Amino acid sequence: MNTFAKLIPIGTCPSFGDGLIDTVNARDLHRTLRVKRDFTNWVKDRLESCMFKENEDFVVYAKSGENPCGGRPSSEYFLTLDAAKHFAMLERNDQGFKVRQYFVEFEKQAKKTLPALTFKELVANTLQANTETIQRLMLEVEDRDQKITVLAPKAAVFEEHCGRSMTINQFARTLEGVNLNMVRNDLKRLGYLYHNGLGLRVYAPYRDNYFVEKINPNDQGDRAMYVTPKGKELMTKLYREGKLTMKAVKEKKKKVTAPPAEVTYQMGYR
């Protein structure tokens, strides 16, 4: 670790928000990684490809005085250790791996040397964390209460149609205009029920899922068909899609009345 410390000095920079943060001079990193590209193009490409943000992941200082190579004064880039680790990984070679491991080990050693928190600091941190947790939970409860308020009317409608235990015919009575004598035939036609010669049965994929068969001892072993909440949703859907037979609308017969007496007399029927 001491060898790498001489090659890549790690300092602190005051330009990253509050306090100081460990930083690496990108020029030192460029040299240690043995990058063959020129420094300026290399560091700008890496910063752009990693989408690093200035004053969060790196900071730039313009060197005072003239550039010995001519042109504008050169700039110095200082990277956070996380940004420097990304730079090292992108080199995809043994040297990049070694440099990254050096930064990881440096951070481990730095954590060991951090001063222990006082009791007051520990309590303050705990209270702050608890306050943030309570505020988050209060927002979640408020959001839940708003959703319950919105869904309550819908739940009442669902309970009316889909929440109670009923036979198929009992539930069909809640669907206005449905022909009760044809409901079971409709469900047979649509592939939910079938007749096996002894009575009406539910096909296996829908048994106990949409419809339930129960032996009715009062009807000499005949199976009564009950509809589950999921089955009630299905029947309501079929009703809305017009797949259940509706009652026929009876036309009123027109009443034929005899013509007035004076009319029959004038026409010679008397």
Q: Could you tell me which of 245, 168, 173 has the C-alpha nearest to residue 211?
A: 168
The conformation of residue 198, written as its DSSP 8-state character, comes to S
- Coil/strand/helix, residue 16: coil
| Nearest C-alpha neighbor of 23 from the set 73, 62, 80 | 80
Question: Which tens digits make up the pLDDT trace of 94-120?
Answer: 888 989 988 888 888 877 775 655 556
53-83 burial string, b = 16+ CB within 10 Å, else e? Answer: eeeebbbeeeeeeeeeeeeeebeebbbbbeb
Helix (H, G, I), strand (E, B), or coil: what is residue 100? helix
For residue 102, the Cα-to-chain-centroid distance in whole angstroms is 39
Q: pLDDT value at position 238?
A: 93
Quick one: pLDDT at residue 235? 92
- Distant-in-sequence, close-in-space partners of 75: CB < 8 Å, separation ≥ 6: 60, 61, 62, 63
Residues in the chain predicted with pLDDT less than 70, given as ranges, are: 1-7, 13-19, 63-73, 114-123, 125-126, 129, 152-165, 215-223, 249-270
d(CA 9, CA 142): 51
Q: What pLDDT sits at residue 268?
A: 44
Residue 256 confidence (pLDDT): 57
Distances, alpha carbon 34 to alpha carbons 30, 42, 237, in Å: 6, 12, 70
